[in-house]
């Protein structure tokens, strides 16, 4: 993956976590782990990066209010794969993340959170359109 794409992915993740006061604490914590995962993947450490994704998944429960947060976990694994140039894995994970948000959409809560989640969704859609077959 080229440096520009890595910087874009990392910047998108950091920007997404800035308005933390708009998110629940749990969502902010998950998003922070996603940022750590992508930064670690940027150092070509897939094992370490995916450990951050698994750590974020461990923060969630099976409660209905956590359902949409599992899309962040799939996006985490997808972002790690994309950063490392593994397009098939990234495409699969981003599709699953988007499917989760279709089935259990994120809340329409704080305007900053809604806008940030829309950016994350649009980034996954754009990645799939540019890099994934069907």
Higher pLDDT, 5 or 87: 87
Is pLDDT above 50 for 20? no
Could you tell me what percent of the chain has a pLDDT over 90?
77
**Does residue 17 surpass a pLDDT of 50?**
no
Q: Could you tell me the residue range of the domain that residue 59 belongs to? A: 3-131
Environment class of residue 133 by beta-carbon count within 10 Å: exposed (0-12), middle (13-18) or buried (19+)?
A: exposed
Whether 107 and 68 have beta carbons less than 8 Å apart is answered as yes
Indicate if the pLDDT at residue 12 is higher than 70.
no
Number of domains composing the chain:
1
What number of other Cβ atoms are within 10 A of residue 64's Cβ?
A: 8
Q: Give the residue carrying structure tokens 């670690």.
A: 40
Average pLDDT over residues 22-29: 90
Q: What is the pTM of this model?
A: 0.82
Q: In the structure, what pLDDT confidence band is assigned to residue 11 with cuts at 50, 70 and 90?
A: low
């Amino acid at each position: 993956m080229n440096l520009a794409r890595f910087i874009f992915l990392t910047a998108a993740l950091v920007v997404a976590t800035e308005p933390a006061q708009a998110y629940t604490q749990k969502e902010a914590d998950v998003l922070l782990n996603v940022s750590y995962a992508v930064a670690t993947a940027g150092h070509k450490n897939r094992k370490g990066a995916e450990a951050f994704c698994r750590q974020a998944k461990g923060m969630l429960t099976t409660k209905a209010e956590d359902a949409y947060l599992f899309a962040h976990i799939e996006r985490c694994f997808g972002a790690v794969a994309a950063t490392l140039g593994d397009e098939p894995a990234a495409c699969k994970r981003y599709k699953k993340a988007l499917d989760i948000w279709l089935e259990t959409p994120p809340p329409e809560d704080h305007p900053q959170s809604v806008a940030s989640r829309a950016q994350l969704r649009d980034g996954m859609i754009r990645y799939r359109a540019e890099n994934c077959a069907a």
